[in-house]
Structure 1
Amino acid sequence: MPREIQTITIPDLSTFTKALRTRLQRHDGLPTHASMLSMVAQAAGYDNFQHLKASKPTACKPTDSKRLEKALRVFDQGIMTRWPKQTAVQGLCLWAFWAALPARRDMTEKEVNALLKSRHSFGDHALLRRSLIDHRLVQRTIDGKTYRRIEQAPPEDARALIAAI
């Protein structure tokens, strides 16, 4: 009987490996082939290996909805009220500022600061500006005078956040 090839798409490798590690830690000893298939399928967001086989090759559960919920809690009517503690949530929140920046247009630091100040209320626009650069959402010239949004497709949870805000 020929082997049927199964493919999976993993939208967030970090979440996948954490889920797989948790399942492996719960298992006593070396898992069998069948139980390993099931663990991999579950870590990828499927109920079990049979569910994976029955699904389309790209079908996976959406990325971390808890992170999205945490990100939404720091916004009030589109204004960021506090800086999140978790780095992953911080990175997700920055997409809301990225979306507010004009596409394919150079901006001065003064213009970027004005936009950031208008969209947060905790009083640290410099933190937001540096974080946008660190997360590779914005680039600036070496002298720091010109800023430009880096054009890219936001991840699924970032698109959900942008739409909700």
Structure 2
Amino acid sequence: MTRTPLPMQVHDLSHFSRALSRQLGETSPPHLTLMNMLSRAAGFQNLQHQRAVQAAADRLGRTKSHIPADHRLIERTLTHFDEEGRLQRWPSKRAVQTLALSGLWSVFPSGTSMTEAKVNAILLAEHHFKDPATLRRTMISCGLLTRQRDGSCYARIEKEPSTEAKTLISRLVACRRLRAADVLSNPPSQPKRA
């Protein structure tokens, strides 16, 4: 027999923790220990991590989803992109690298085979540090792109992005739209013919 999930929302963790402590009586751990236990039960590392995620969510203006997103990771990843949605520098932390690559993954056409040159052209348009080979190889190792053994054909791997990736991609899409609108309103000048 399957269980039906029973959603629960706590508006004040401290108040909830005190009420639980009263129920547990003398066997209750100290207040801060109990709050850390409740934070871990909710999927966070500890109370401090939960507070940091909530603060980042507030700064990003996002409401909480059913699956809690690590808004702090999203915020850190966004600092590696410019205002036009291009990756400025290669992140040093692996979690940030992987999330940043999910942002690049979103620009590749789905269900389309591409040559290495086409993949490189797409990547060069979306980053500033001129290293499409590193991006391409890391995207393959992260399961975002696939390629033939001889390197003749690349394709985007279709999969459901993580909650963090969805949030990042939506932010980057908005930046890229502004970039496209700017290019349309200010086309590059054509050289004059003699």
Q: 1:81 to 1:144 in 2, by over 3 A?
A: same
More strand by share: 1
> How far is the alpha carbon of 1:115 from its aligned partner?
0.2
Q: How many residues align?
A: 129
Corresponding residue for residue 58 of structure 2: none
Within 2, Cα distance between the matches of 1:33 and 1:120?
56
Tell me whether 1:70 sits opposite 2:76 in the alignment: yes
Corresponding residue for residue 39 of structure 2: 42
Corresponding residue for residue 136 of structure 2: 129
Within 2, Cα distance between the matches of 1:138 and 1:60?
28
> How far is the alpha carbon of 1:61 from its aligned partner?
6.0
Corresponding residue for residue 99 of structure 2: 92
Q: Which amino acid aligns with 2:78?
A: L
Corresponding residue for residue 117 of structure 1: 124
2:113 to 92, 98, 106: 106
**Which of these two proteins has the greater Rg computed from alpha carbons?**
2
* Counterpart contact for 2:87–2:127, Cα < 8 Å: yes
1:151 to 143, 154, 158: 158
> How far is the alpha carbon of 1:63 from its aligned partner?
2.4
Within 2, Cα distance between the matches of 1:39 and 1:98?
36
Structure 2 stretches of 5 or more lacking a match?
8-25, 48-64, 173-194
TM-superposition CA deviations, 1:18-73 (whole Å, max 9, x none): xxxxxxxxxxxxxx98669975542124899xxxxxxxxxx866222111111100
User: So what's the TM-score if we normalise by structure 2?
Assistant: 0.58
* Counterpart contact for 1:101–1:149, Cα < 8 Å: yes
Which is bigger in relative contact order (C-alpha 8 A, separation at least 6)? 1
Within 2, Cα distance between the matches of 1:66 and 1:97?
19
Within 2, Cα distance between the matches of 1:87 and 1:144?
25
Q: 1:37 to 1:142 in 2, by over 3 A?
A: farther
User: So what's the TM-score if we normalise by structure 1?
Assistant: 0.68
Secondary structure of 2:154's counterpart equals strand
> How far is the alpha carbon of 1:97 from its aligned partner?
1.2
Q: Superposition pairs for residues 19-38 of structure 1, below 5 Å?
A: none
Q: 1:61 to 1:45 in 2, by over 3 A?
A: farther
Query: What is the percent sequence identity of the aligned residues?
Result: 36
Secondary structure of 2:95's counterpart equals helix
Q: Which amino acid aligns with 2:108?
A: L
Within 2, Cα distance between the matches of 1:95 and 1:33?
46
* Runs of 4+ that moved beyond 3 A: 5-9, 32-41, 45-48
